[in-house]
Structure 1
Amino acid sequence: MPARTLPGLGAMLLSLFVVSGLAGLIYQSLWSHYLGLTLGHAAYAQGLVLAIFMGGMALGAWLAGQRGVRWKRLLMLYAAAEALIGLFGLAFPGVFASYTALSQDRVLPALGVGLAGQLYPWVSAALLILPACVLLGATFPLLSAGYLRASGEPNGRVFGGLYFANSLGAAAGALVATFLLLPAYGLPGAMRFAGVANLLVAAGAALVSLRLHEQAAPAPVGAREAAHTPPRSTDTRLARKLLLVAALSGGFSFVYEIGWIRLLNQALGTTLHAFELMLAAFLLGLAFGGWRVRRRAAALANPLQAAGFAQIWMGVSALLSLVVFAQSFQWVGWLMEAVSRNDSGYLLFSLGSAAVAIAVMFPAAFFAGMALPLFTVSLLRAGGGEAGIGRIYAANTLGAIGGVLLMMHVLIPLIGVRWGITLAAVGDALLGFWLLGTVRSGLARTAGLAALALGAALGLSMAMGKPDPREQAAGVFRSGTVRLSDESEIAFLRDGKTATIAVARSGAHDSAAIITNGKSDAAMTLSLDASPRGDEFTMVALGALPLALHPHPRSVGVIGWGSGLSTHTLLGSPKVERVETVEIEPAIHAGARMFGERVARAYGDPRSRVHFDDARRFFASGQRRYDVIVSEPSNPWVSGVASLFTREFYAFLRSHLAEDGVLVQWLQTYEIDDALLATMLAAVLQEFPDAEAYLAHNVDLIIVAYPGTRHGADHARLQHPDLSRELKRVGLGNADELALRRIGGRDVLQAFVRALNAPVHTDAHPLVALRAPAARFRGESSQTLQLLVDGGLPVLDMLDGRTPLPASADIQTFVDHRFTIAHREAATLAGALRNGPETADMLAIGDEDRLMRLEALLAMSGRTPIDNLWSWSVAAADIAEASLGLLPADDLRGAWIAPSWIDRGSDQHPAVRHILAMYAAAAHRDSAGMRQTGEAVLQLPDSLPVKMQEQALLIAQLGAIGQRDFAAVESLHQGYGVALPHSERLRLVRHLIRVWALDRRQPGAGKPQPQIQDAVPVTVPPPG
């Protein structure tokens, strides 16, 4: 008998194990982040961490089981294991930083591209976390055996309770890590939090051990069992069967986990939040399965029989999970319609996503949670002793490793996710029937009913468990569209190792799109004779810009295959000698072949080489250096992708560029907000001394960064027969079209970053991965940098020395490129003001409201004086917004400079004369005149529209900047801007100009920022 038990011993130890489980899953979650930086893809990192996590635990459990009988104070040893894990957690951030630097700077360059270089990241990453995993594996057998020694409870109650506690803590840990700790403390802080949690558990366990005065010799386990299970010698044959069954059961369970996550990614989205919700759902099922065993411990007359039925029902539930999954697209579609696109709606969407994950995972996970405690009880009742606890736990976790590796590297590539789950489910059920056969206790009738249930579930799974490929490719989690239209043909659908890849073709538009887990990554028309799709503007520009910006782009590295069009474009230049494209998912490369001749050079040109690898590992091996690196990853909200937008990654890329090299980075401005865009730009600017931004497409930026000399764009470098037609088709056919797409240089980008007070995006603080999923859900879009060009005022003329293109410039107009539309409308409006509307193609003004305001403006301006100042001002401000900042002074003569469409004489309304003088000064880019006339308009006693007042404020401030009187910018804000409401369109532009001026008054980073003030609601009524 135990020396002495404590009141509430069970509750104390269960509470400690809840915290231990929480810390353990925090480690697993954070290790996935850390090792993703080494292995390059979240799916690979998650798979490796899961395998090593389970493998280390298997080894630790086996060691603890082998030696547990000899140890005297098991609870004290358990406390020591928890303490060592805690110390490991505290030290890990520093160890990983040193490991990364050593690997990238020395080891990988030395190993090169051979097998050793390929294996090193995997082996070294595994060894990095293995010691902690071994200790984690030892905790369950140590605590459970110590608990059994100290209490008189049935072993089924003990094992079920501990499994429940640990799994419940683990489910909480998956959520706490992602939703609380990472946003608050980053990777190092979250890791240290888990370490402190382990140390607290160690202290609690040590206190319990000291108060119990643990005996040197363990009490015989069999003596505490129910009357029907007297102690007996070990049944060696049964013990071996149980170890095999535990291993197979663990393997099947983790085939399910990997498969479910891969499937649900298509319905819920491949985001960090979605992954953690799925993981928590799986662990919750395991927890309640353990709780079920704890509750039924006293009635477990035959635990082996119960384990057999648990296996059968696990297989049946896994088959039915495919039927449930096939309906999940409809549920997510309903959820997207039901909730608002705001933060509260995202919370509800996340809860709904968790409910969908629970519906798919919980039933089978519940029976999986029953299995391990039942196996352990069966082994102990067979006379296995305390050593059996560690052995059964080790076998189960060893099987889990096999399941992870089998699913990821064999089943998914060979037969796909759905069939992998089906195979595991049938194997689980057959395992259960085999267990029932060993019991031989008259269960023929019950087993027959179970067999019928299995057959029915298999039939349902075959008939209703296959999702519609059009639903898999629709991306319901983004748009709410459950299914692609019938005109879309799914021409390619393959489960790759990291994602499910589809190619959808539309016959009506002769176009195709390559889709990753439901998210379209690239779309294009299949013929050069058809109008280009939006993505084509970006993909062609990604290839064309470095050719125009670098005089000798001999060697090019491309991160991400996508459609292959960027690589194809690069190879259109004979100056390019080699393009090495690194893609981590081979199925993307296979699917993109469907684009045919549109990407022919990428596949057929001997200068093109594709490598299926992680960019970090590939670039580091062989000490590669490139003249150009093009980085075109998917959207930052996709799990794992945000790590390609961090300061550390940009420092790594810079080290692999030649001194006069060029980095070309695609940055999406859709499904993301200004703040997140700024934090990624801050990372670029931290590592590159020079950078500039181009707009490739309405919502796609291209950031070009230079480690050294900027050569300047030369469109003549693009004059090659293979390129000319492709470039002209997307509006890059001449120098004017290329110049139109440039937004501004480093100073403009730095002002944008400072205006948002954006922190530098780093590996340790993955803000983008954590916040971008919610921004995507809200439908955010970053427009500020675009508004600097087409916002209507000469902002970039004063800040970046930009010269607007003349109205005569040879520029094609595309609905997918807002700058081309803005330039056309500006030229049309200026011509209509100068020569009358009958001389202009009024259809070129795409905005019908603006066309009506133009007509109203000209009609009202025919009377002197203006009899309705308010209405006239509304129209004038709108037309000025669309024309003033987009054309040079010569094209604004007769429009805003000496306007011919209105009488400016002494009989005109004084306010009108002031307004026209202000617009004329802005059109001339006359700094002194802009400051003087802008302030004069702000001082007018007449009520003017907010838009015109904002224009006056900005014109005055830009004039002050032109005069280099930077202090006056803030004085104007304090004098007029504080009381002037901020329009949503110009709110951040106004703040950016203040930050620009402040930086020039107080040069250097880290200066105090003026705060963005909320708009003050001021209603300005029309006169009369």
Structure 2
Amino acid sequence: MPPRVLGLERLLLALFVASGFAGLIYQAIWSHYLGLSLGHAAYAQTLVLGIFMGGMALGAWVVSRRGVRWRRLIAAYALVEIVIGLAGLAFHPVFLAYTGLSQDTVYPALESAAAVRAWQWGSAALLIAPQSILLGMTFPLMSGGYLRIAPRADGEILGGLYFSNSIGAAFGALFATFVLLPWIGMPGAVAFAGAVNLVVGVLAWRVSRRVDAQPSEAPVVGETPVTPSAAPGFFRAMLLVACLTGASSFVYEIGWVRMLNQVLGTTVHSFELMLSAFILGLAFGGLWVRRRAPRVTDPVAYAGWAQLWMGLAALVSLPLFANSFHWVGWLMGLLPRTDEGYALFTLASGAIAMLVMFPAAFFAGMTLPLLTMAMLRNGSGEAGIGRVYAINTLGAILGVVLAVHVLIPTLGLQLSVTLAALVDVVLGVVLIRWYAAGDGSPRTLPGALVATMLVLGISLVFGRADPRALAGGVYRTGAASLGSGVDIPYLKDGKTSTVAVVAGDNWHSITTNGKPDAAVNLDPDADPADDEITMVLLGTLPLALHPAPRDVAVIGWGSGLSTHSLLGSPRPARVDSIEIEPAMVEGSRLMMPRVYRAFDDPRSHLHIDDARTFFSTGRKRYDVIVSEPSNPWVSGVGSLFTRQFYGFLGDHLEDDGVLIQWVHIYELDNPLLATMLAALGQQFPHVDLYLANQGDLILAASRRPLPAPRYPAAPDSGFAAEMARVGLGSAADFEVRRLGDRRVLDTLVRMTGVPAHDDFHPVVSLQAPRARFKNRSADWLLRLETAGLPLLETIAGRRTVPADLVLTEAEGSLSLRLAQEGRRIRAAMTGEPLPGAFHEPSLADAGRELRLLSGAGIGQQDEGRWLAAAAQVAEATLSGLSPSDLDGLWIDPVWYHAEDAPVSVRRVLQAYDATARRDHAAMQQTGLAALDVLDPAVAPLLVREHMLVIARLGAIGQGDLEASVAIERQFGRDVPGGGDAAYGFVRGFLLAWADQETSSD
């Protein structure tokens, strides 16, 4: 390269690194933006990829047609970068205006789903197409301007620019997800990219005054001698190869991403790691060309061998993928469940993605520079750069469309990648055999073809992953495969995910990318699966709360059991179920006949669509909407738990409509749950919380006050039998699972200090994968439920179920178990018949000891034992039993006969008596009196915590919030609240609640 060019080379390459860096920030962030419009991350990624590549193809084509007439190509490049930057700064306000126009004006005017979808996809494409076209102009402008001053360094320039742009792109994808989104959200990220483009444009403009002024070393356009290989049709052949290899490369990318989702998890982080691995491969392929370009005498032959090796590397990637389940299983067993462990898991995930994707992507990165060199050296001139770039990009779009809509649903992931690999092998053979200039290269083809057949056979045999591994979710469980005791009767690679049905003894579970979504016991006479109470409660709670639920919508199909349960009542006239993945519905047919109404009832209407598109069609309004999407750590699903989406759903509810929302509390932490609760509470003034089991929370939200649940089934009906099987045999079974109203929600939000979850700050999608890896649990609600004092009854409107109302026995319900346990200890203490065996034998032991010690005088030596036993019995009864049921237990206790008990015993008994009566003034008085006499050396910590909280609840019950806080400040320092303290969180919750109530007055 001439010395006069070397001084500018590093700056031009650095500018192109920054340009690629900003370009992939756009692609990453646009996927999040358009996911809010299109309703599904996979569709948004596909559209962004298609428009991004299509726009770049058009931009490159424009330069190929017009750029040869432009004298100052680097100056044109600078102007393009500046315009891209300005568009980046304006993108967020434009998107907000577009969203408002769509929701307020366009959608209400459209009556058909096809019209809505056409508007969504067309308008979304227009949002990003202008910048994409401009981005497509950058490579041919930069390379053309560069080549004008050093045309003999074509390979070095093309490979160097391709490497620079790609390496910047790879880091841009990672920087967008791991730095910008958590730091400044989507608006800040896209503006940051715009600022980068502006800086690049300004610097490029300054450089252009030196570069564009340099005299060319040789004629630029059409004056390079045409070699004999440039026969008629040569250029068309090179362009066809560029198109087909672009298509195969993107079949690889989509196929690898879909496969690795089953190993690494379908998260935002894993997707960007895979994308970066692919782009890094492309980058280093370009670097290889740059470094060896002077020695490349026949770029066509090199391109042919690159194609052939790319196909072989793609075939080898399949056995590597099949073995990656074992690698991830080993990692999950090795790494600690900490932030550091998650960071190492993320790095290892990137390494696995590199191992699978990098080799083939490396050879893919060689092909475009080599094909462009072949065009230039055979007389295409600068126009050849844009043409190759444009046709390669159009091929990429073709690959995306074919992969998503044809190949993967028809052939599956493995065969789709295999077919694309064979296309590349054939392209390589054609280039070497018919278009390479040298005579020696074809002689090695027979050996290469034999090797290809061998690798193809190995790939077909060893590249097929075990279905038990595909359905196992190793990224969650750490097990590389499900056990041999289960079968996989259904496994299909759908358009958006891989769906499997796992079958055991009489039960079926349906999974998405290895994550279980629903499990059903097919034997109606056997115990239900753990998920069944959640799905049946989702389907029956709206029937229990809404007086006339005629029009109902269900977001998410799962097993179909929620829809089936809704249709057990004659009151719904129509149930619209919305599911994005057809394979999910197809797989759920294996749940028959347990879900027969979902398929056979004429009131059931299934829609394969995303929720936003479906609700946007026409003017749909519903009495009830049931939302049970996938887990919010799954990429794109978090947008269904934002304040904007809840407002959107609210607009599609009738004035007295009810929203029923499922959210898990396992594999989540309290701040993440709180931010989603805050989003719901911001849109709905009335919210009730129900605990289905220890892992599933169900929220009922409305803009009108919610009534107490009524039993929705006719007595002795088949529907009533279905409900009773999972523990819903009466209205009391609904009530016992109710934790409280939105005051609980507001207090949890205040304790964490988190804002409402927002579309443009996707903290759940970003942070929930870490919580899942760490096996975290949003346990605050469980701790409130297990608190043995009437906390929720005092502050959150919880209604205690009287003992004369029968509760249906069921496994898995924490609320039911606590209520039943309280009834058992009451019966044991008062001499009534015992309603079933104790779940906790230690509680029965505590009751016996309390009665034994209370039968006569309680000596000083028995004080500690009596207080410990009393606290354990109080913990099991004071919260779960109504005052009438506490008569004889704590109110005038029939088991207490001691005459000369220590003062501490008498004071504690008085405090429990006041609590049982719900006499708030007496609670405050007796709790404080007990605190005055309890000796920390004798009285267990739990007793002292009880007295402190009883006194505070007494003050709260009288409306004296300042007194409650003062009691904590006065006595709290003597009652430890951390470590083994059972009520440390409860005390903090009460402080937050008092603060909440005070600020709202």
Would you call these one fold, judging by a TM-score over 0.5? Answer: yes
Taking a change above 3 Å as real, the CA distance of residues 501 and 233 of structure 1, as seen in their structure-2 partners, is closer
Say which is worse superposed, 207-216 or 668-677, in terms of deviation.
Answer: 207-216
1:210 CA drift (Å): 2.5
1:175 aligns with 2:174: yes
Residue 445 (structure 2) aligns with: 447
Shift of 1:602: 0.7
- Where does residue 958 of structure 1 map in the other structure? 953
Alpha-carbon distance change, 904 to 758 in structure 1, aligned in 2, over 3 angstroms: farther
Q: Given residue 892 of structure 1, which amino acid in structure 2 is its aligned partner? A: L
Q: What residue is the counterpart of 1:155 in the other structure?
A: 154
* Pairing partner for 1:475 from 473, 476, 501: 473
2:222/2:381 contact within 8 Å kept: no
Decide whether the 8 Å contact of 1:743 with 1:786 is kept in 2.
no
The aligned counterpart of 1:947 is 942
Structure-2 separation of matches of 1:740 and 1:189 = 46
SS in 2 for 1:501: strand
Per the alignment, in what secondary structure is the counterpart of residue 757 of structure 2? coil
In structure 1, what is the equivalent of residue 550 of structure 2?
Answer: 554
The answer to whether 1:672 aligns with 2:668 is: yes
Q: Which residue of structure 2 aligns with residue 143 of structure 1?
A: 142
Q: How does 1:371-520 map to 2 (within 5 A)?
A: 371-437=367-433, 438-439=435-436, 440-506=438-504, 508=505, 510-520=506-516
Residue 146 of structure 1 and its aligned partner are, at CA, apart by 1.6
Find the counterpart in structure 2 of residue 996 from structure 1: 993
**Residue 367 (structure 1) shift:** 0.7
Once the 2 structures are TM-superposed, how far is the Cα of residue 494 of structure 1 from its aligned partner? 0.9
The CA deviation at 1:850 is 4.0
Quickly say closer, same or farther: Cα 1:868–1:16, change in 2 above 3 A: farther
Q: Deviations over 1:413-434 (max 9, x none)?
A: 2111111110000011110010
| The one of 897, 915, 928 aligned to 2:921 | 928
Mark the CA change 1:224 to 1:335 in structure 2 (over 3 Å): closer, same or farther: farther
Instruction: Supply the distance in 2 between the matched residues of 1:868 and 1:208 (Cα, whole angstroms).
Output: 90
Classify the secondary structure of the residue corresponding to 1:498: coil
Q: CA shift at 1:754, angstroms?
A: 1.8
Which amino acid in 2 is paired with 1:942? D
Partner of 1:69: helix, strand, or coil?
helix
Shift of 1:895: 2.8
The residue aligned with 1:660 is: 656
Measured after TM superposition, the shift of residue 224 of structure 1 is 13
- Quick check: 1:160–1:291 contact (8 Å CA) kept in 2? yes
- Answer yes or no: is the 8 Å Cα contact 2:543–2:712 preserved in 1: no
Larger mean Cα displacement after TM superposition, 202-211 or 124-133: 202-211
> Would you say the 8 A contact 1:222–1:380 is kept in 2?
no
List per-residue Cα deviations over 1:895-917 (Å, max 9, x = no partner). 33333444554x32222222222
Would the alpha carbon gap of residues 15 and 873 (structure 1) be closer, same or farther in structure 2, given more than 3 Å must change? farther
Which one of 885, 888, 892 corresponds to residue 891 of structure 1? 885
What is the CA-CA distance between 1:150 and the residue it aligns to?
3.8
Task: Give the Å deviation of 1:123.
Answer: 1.4
1:831 counterpart (827, 831, 836)? 827
Q: Which whole-Å CA distance do the structure 2 matches of 1:324 and 1:233 have between them?
A: 39
- Does the 8 Å contact 1:572/1:720 carry over to 2? no
- Hey, what does 1:1018 align to over in structure 2? none
Residue 276 of structure 1 deviates from its aligned partner by 1.0
Who is 1:123 aligned against? 122
* TM-superposed deviation, 1:784: 1.9
Measured at CA, do residues 860 and 178 of structure 1 come closer, stay the same or move farther in structure 2, by a change above 3 Å?
farther
Shift of 1:534: 1.2
| Deviation sequence 1:743-798 (CA, Å, 0-9, x none) | 11122222222222221111011111111111111111122223333321100121
- SS across alignment from 2:501: strand
What is the 5 A alignment of 1:768-783? 768-783=764-779
Pairing 1:311-350 to 2, within 5 Å after superposition: 311-350=307-346
Which residue identity is paired with 1:441?
D
Cα deviation digits, residues 488-522 of structure 1 (max 9, x gap): 1111111110001111111x2x0101111101100
What residue is the counterpart of 1:360 in the other structure?
Answer: 356
In 1, distance between residues paired with 2:984 and 2:366? 58
Residues 90 and 219 (structure 1), Cα distance of their counterparts in 2 relative to 1, 3 Å cut? farther
Deviation at residue 246 of structure 1 after TM alignment:
0.6
Which amino acid is 1:481 matched to? Answer: A
Work out whether 1:684 is the aligned partner of 2:680.
yes
Among residues 847, 852, 876, which one is paired with 1:882 in the alignment? 876
CA offsets per residue over residues 979-998 of structure 1, 9 Å max, x none?
A: 63235754433222112212
- State the alpha-carbon separation in 2 of the partners of residues 358 and 384 from structure 1: 36
User: SS at the partner of 2:423?
Assistant: helix
| Aligned ranges 1:495-894 → 2 under 5 Å | 495-506=493-504, 508=505, 510-715=506-711, 721-835=717-831, 840=834, 844-858=837-851, 860-861=853-854, 864-867=858-861, 869-894=863-888
Taking the aligned partners of 1:881 and 1:548, their CA distance within structure 2 comes to 30
Give the aligned partner of residue 973 of structure 1. Answer: 968
Q: Deviations over 1:173-218 (max 9, x none)?
A: 1111111111111110111111111111112211211244535878
Unpaired segments of 5 or more residues in structure 2?
none
* Separation in 1, partners of 2:656, 2:130: 44
Contact preservation (8 Å) 1:5, 1:212: no
Q: Is the 8 A contact 2:508 2:591 kept in 1?
A: yes
Shift of 1:292: 1.2
User: In the alignment, residue 884 of structure 2 is paired with which amino acid?
Assistant: D
- Aligned equivalent of 2:88: 89
Given that 1:573 and 1:722 are in contact with CA atoms closer than 8 Å, whether structure 2 keeps it comes out as: no
The DSSP-based 3-state class of the residue aligned with 2:632 is coil
**C-alpha deviation, 1:874, in angstroms:** 3.8
**Structure 2 Cα separation of the partners of residues 121 and 586 of structure 1:** 21
Deviation at residue 857 of structure 1 after TM alignment = 4.5
User: Contact between 1:790 and 1:886, CA under 8 Å: does it hold in 2?
Assistant: no
CA distance in 1, matches of 2:125, 2:608: 21
The verdict on how the C-alpha distance between 1:951 and 1:777 changes in structure 2, with shifts beyond 3 A counting, is: same
Q: Kindly state the Cα deviation for residue 560 of structure 1 after the two structures are TM-superposed.
A: 0.9
Give the stretch that moved more between structures: 108-117 or 730-739: 108-117
Q: Would you say the 8 A contact 1:683–1:761 is kept in 2?
A: yes
Deviation at 1:76, TM superposition (A): 1.3
Alpha-carbon displacement from aligned partner over 1:12-39 (angstroms, at most 9, x marks no partner): 1111111111111111111111111111
Shift of 1:815: 2.8
Query: Per the alignment, do residues 938 and 903 of structure 1 end up closer, same or farther by CA in structure 2, a change over 3 Å counting?
Result: same
- Pair 877,210 (structure 1): closer, same or farther in 2 beyond 3 Å: farther
Unaligned runs of 5+ in 1: 1005-1024
Alignment match of 1:911 (pick from 895, 904, 917): 904
Alignment of 1:182-221 (within 5 A): 182-212=181-211, 214-215=213-214, 219-220=218-219
Cα-to-partner distance string for 1:909-934 (whole Å, 9 max, x where unaligned): 22222222222222221111221222
TM-score normalised by length of structure 2: 0.96
Q: Relative to 1, partners in 2 of residues 1:881 and 1:709: Cα closer, same or farther, differing over 3 Å?
A: closer
- Amino acid in structure 1 at the alignment position of 2:509: A
Alignment of 1:284 with 2:280, yes or no, is yes
Is the Cα contact below 8 Å between 1:332 and 1:476 reproduced in 2?
Answer: yes
1:274 to 270, 274, 284: 270
**Aligned Cα root-mean-square deviation (Å):** 2.2
| Rounded Cα–Cα distance in structure 1 between residues aligned with 2:799 and 2:520 | 33
Q: Please tell me whether residue 263 in structure 1 is matched to residue 262 in structure 2.
A: no
Contact 1:493/1:503 (8 A) holds in 2: yes
Q: Whole-Å Cα distance in 1 between the matches of residues 765 and 231 of structure 2?
A: 52
Instruction: Give the partner amino acid of 1:864.
Output: I
Compared CA separation, residues 178 and 719, structure 1 to 2 (3 A): farther
- Contact 1:491–1:503 (8 Å) recurs in 2: yes
